[in-house]
Amino acid sequence: MDKSNYDIDEHISENHSHCDCGCGKLHSEHEHHEHHEHHEGCSCNYEHHHHEHEKKKECNVSISYHDQSVIASYKFDINVNELSCSNEKLGEFLLDIGRCVEALGGIIGHIKAVVCFSESGKMLSVTYDGEVSENPIEIKKVFIEGVAIVFNVDGDSLENIISESYETLKNKFNQ
Amino acid sequence: MKILILGGFLGSGKTSVISQIAKRVIGEGNEPDKARVVVIENEIGEVGIDNQVLGANGYKVENMFSGCICCTMGGEIADNVKRIQNDISPELIIIEASGVGYPFNIKENILKALDVRCKICCVIDAKRWRRLIVPMGMILKDQLREVDIIIVNKTDLVDESEIKYVTDTAKEFNASAEYFYASATQGLNDEIIGKLLGE
């Protein structure tokens, strides 16, 4: 690099500034990806790359295997209006999984969940003036994490069963 | 320091048994000495459940997740026991095997590295035993191998003839163990706890 003509602002603009498209990538990182033309109205002077933003799963299920067993570990949370109505629906969620496993000819080892209830939270904010401001907010939420260990069912099927049971549960809470 | 390895198939009631034993050892006074018992929880899933149940009751719990201490994490269990012995020196370490783990293998893994007293107890779910014995027979048989004490649990949920069936078929797998009968959620009697603690 010819240091005599080196422009630090230009260097930052080209290499360390984030793309205006909101993808979270640095401009410099774009060079490593396939490029295409800007979308209309974009103020950035760089060509955009194409990349997929992976959609965050609402119900996170991971599958593992041990001996003859298939193990699904899952985590999710749901916003609810009333916490008092949660127990029956959450119990039904576990029963749902069990029924589907048995319908496929599987054997239930156990299906367990730990459920945490929240009625309130707070918003914390820092604006670089040396202090953290906070505001209480009402958040009614259930946090669920659990494990299903079953036999004679393949991992993909178990993952689908849990994801579908989660959708059913979510719909019940949204009714 | 004593070590009690608690095995048994998924859902047999191991955690309920552990709660009863731990409560007995630490006492129920105003200031129970919770460091007298350490529970090592082995769960093969990424999410721990039983550790949260025991931890919520105030017991000291060490977690070993995402693997089985009878096989894939066999080397780590001896290291953890050694560390607990040095750092905490409890009166009793209770090792809860995963519901698909083989307690005798865990004992072997520990005794390879340590000279300690090690007893194995296995819990049987009387209500589900008949249903599991054919499809899960090999696992159930291997879980009962070389076990010292067998607790036939959930006897309140079955009748006498079913308890006899469970006992007879379990004895085909292990005839030398001492058999006890209980409903762990309703409490273990002094005789069973005394046996488990080697009193």
Chain segment A71-123, per-residue pLDDT in tens? 999 999 988 877 766 778 889 999 999 999 999 999 999 999 998 888 888 99
Q: Look at residues B136, B38, B155, B18 and name the one whose alpha carbon lies nearest to residue B85.
A: B38
> Would you call B11 and A67 a contact, using CB atoms and an 8 Å cutoff?
no
Dihedral of the alpha carbons of B151, B154, B157, B163, in degrees to the nearest 10? -10
Is B190 strand, coil or helix?
helix
Q: What is the pTM of this model?
A: 0.79
A131 pLDDT tier (thresholds 50, 70, 90): confident
Q: Residues A14-24: what's their mean pLDDT?
A: 50
Query: Encoding tokens for residue A76?
Result: 């999710």
Task: Give the chain B residue whose CA is nearest to the CA of A145.
Answer: B47
> Would you call A145 and B139 a contact, using CB atoms and an 8 Å cutoff?
no
> Would you call B45 and A147 a contact, using CB atoms and an 8 Å cutoff?
yes
Decide if pLDDT at A51 tops 90.
no
A155 pLDDT tier (thresholds 50, 70, 90): very high
Chain-centroid distance, C-alpha A121: 20
Query: Encoding tokens for residue B179?
Result: 């058999």
Q: Residues B61-68: what's their mean pLDDT?
A: 87
Measured CA to CA in angstroms, residue B194 lies from A18, A23, B101, B158, B197 at distances of: 67, 64, 25, 25, 5
ipTM field: 0.89
- For chain A, the residues whose C-beta falls within 8 A of a C-beta of chain B are 62, 64, 66-69, 71-75, 107, 109-110, 112-114, 145-147, 149, 151-152
- C-beta separation of B121 from B4 below 8 A: yes
pLDDT of residue A7: 57
Task: Give the chain B residue whose CA is nearest to the CA of A115.
Answer: B49
The answer for residues whose C-beta is within 8 angstroms of residue B91's C-beta and 6 or more apart is B1, B2, B25, B36, B37
Dihedral of the alpha carbons of A144, A145, A151, A155, in degrees to the nearest 10? 100
For B194, the enclosing helix (H) or strand (E) is helix B190-196
* Conformation bin of residue B124: beta by default, left when phi > 0, alpha when psi is -120 to 50: beta
Chain B residues with beta carbon closer than 8 angstroms to that of A112: 49
How far is residue B169's CA from residue B167's CA, in Å, rounded to a whole number?
A: 6
A142 pLDDT tier (thresholds 50, 70, 90): confident
B103 pLDDT tier (thresholds 50, 70, 90): very high
Chain B residues with beta carbon closer than 8 angstroms to that of A74: 47
Is A15 strand, coil or helix?
helix
DSSP H helical ranges for chain A: 8-15, 27-30, 86-103, 155-174
Q: CB count, 10 Å around CB of A23?
A: 16
Rounded to a whole number of angstroms, the distance from the CA of B94 to the nearest CA of chain A is 22
What DSSP string runs through B89-142? --SEEEEE--TT--HHHHHHHHHTT---EEEEEEEEETTTHHHHTTTTHHHHHH
Cβ-Cβ contacts under 8 Å between A and B: the total is 57
